[in-house]
Homo-oligomer: A and B are copies of this chain.
Amino acid sequence: MLENRQLIDEKLTQAVAILQEQDVDLWLTFVRETSMQPDPALELIFGSDLTWPSAFLITQTGERIAIVGHFDSANLHALGVYTNVIGYHQGIRDVLVAELDRLQPRVIAINYSESDVAADGLSYGMYRNLLNHLAGTPHQERLISAERVNFALRGRKSPTEIARIRQAIATTETLFAEVSAYAKPGMTQREIAAFVQGRIGELELDYAWPKPFNPIVTCGPASAVGHAAPGDVVLEKGHLLHMDLGIREADYSSDLQRMWYVLDDGETEAPPAVQRAFMVVAGALKAGGEALQPGVAGWQVDEVARDFIVDHGYPEYMHAFGHMMGRVAHDGATVLGPRWEKYAGICELPIEVGNIFTLELHVIVDGRGMMSLEEDVVVTETGVEYLSTPQEALWYIDG
């Protein structure tokens, strides 16, 4: 837990600034038994688990108050980032109401959101418990959604978060290099995925999304596109090998896609159609990345990449160009997606400095397979910095 002290201190400092910016008096995170009922916000402001009902109160004036069961108060004191740690013995109600009475917030922002799961950590049962605790007090009428607080706090990565993501990406790139040495025609998707999962196990890494679908391995034209588990399709000469891999290292994720081509008998490079598809996909990522700037809306970035693909004669991809990444691969609200109903609202959100996005899209190469690339970038004052080393040419596997 203590290894996260600096990270949590950074996020709490950010949280206070966000409350000031949004003029929210108080942000309340109210949780219990978090190993079974996690609140995504808690990872950022505490970073460990709690058993008894616990309340974290962050105020616009900079107070950081943790009200926890007495068993947990030593851990909170040891963490040393809360200005006030209150351990209770019997029940949380009286202590919580006393703190609210002292603070007299005009609004109390709590963790619920209809649109963003990462801002929706309060269960309905816990919401009812909170209403019961606040019954008969003026605080009951002051509850609002902390959705915008959570959007900003999750989305704007702190220096420690960026450093950890950079490390997860570097590790992932090492794994891709190992795949280059390992993969041979005749292997199945399942074998190639198992090799990567074996290495992830040996390195004691976690997964950025669930293991059955991580990595996604696509071999040639017979593979399903999308969220399919690796199966028995065999890698063949003259086919593309695609891998979508995301690991989690020190609680932060990567999400990258890389492409290999298996040389056919007599070939020394991929056929022109394969090479052209690679260049168009890589070019679209680059063009989209150049459009990614603070203040721009997500859909505007998607549009640049989408137009690039269509202008080069390929059909448009039926998903978003990018998503936020953080503690897991899909982490945060803003989507670099088209203005389809499915992305309503979240593709209109403005891009902010410190946001980390994936850039990804694919085309299909007839008879060869899927050509899909994905890079990870952080938004700076002037554009983006690549956290991954962009793949600039196909990698070859000897046939």
Q: Which residues of A are at the interface with B, using a C-beta cutoff of 8 A?
A: 1, 32-33, 35-38, 40, 48-49, 51, 71-72, 74, 90-91, 110, 112-129, 132, 201, 204, 209-210, 212, 226-229, 328, 330-331, 341-342
Contact = CB atoms under 8 A, between A and B. Distances in A.
Contacts of A110: 124
16 contacts: A1-B212, A33-B330, A35-B209, A36-B331, A37-B117, A37-B120, A48-B212, A51-B227, A71-B226, A112-B124, A114-B125, A114-B126, A114-B132, A117-B123, A120-B125, A122-B123
A237 B263 CA distance: 66
A35 B125 contact: no
Nearest to A145: B125
B328 A35 contact: yes
A113 B129 CA distance: 9
A44 to B, nearest CB: 13
Nearest to A224: B74
A40 B36 CA distance: 7
Nearest to A52: B342
A227 B71 contact: yes
The 9 A-B residue pairs whose C-beta atoms are closest, nearest first, are A120-B125, A112-B124, A33-B117, A124-B127, A112-B125, A37-B117, A120-B123, A113-B125, A122-B124
Contact of A117 (B32, B71, B116, B229): B32
Given A32-B117, A72-B227, A120-B124, 18 more contacts: A1-B212, A1-B229, A35-B210, A36-B40, A71-B226, A71-B227, A90-B342, A91-B341, A112-B125, A114-B125, A114-B126, A114-B128, A115-B125, A117-B125, A120-B125, A123-B123, A123-B124, A124-B127
Contacts of A35: 209-210, 328
Q: DSSP majority for the A interface?
A: loop
Count of this chain's copies in the oligomeric assembly? 2
A323 to B, nearest CB: 11
Contacts of A212: 1, 48
Contacts of A341: 90-91
Nearest to A35: B210
A123 B210 CA distance: 21
A150 to B, nearest CB: 11
Contacts of A342: 90-91
B123 A121 contact: yes
Nearest to A340: B90
Contacts of A125: 112-117, 119-120, 122
A125 B147 CA distance: 10
A130 to B, nearest CB: 9
Nearest to A51: B227
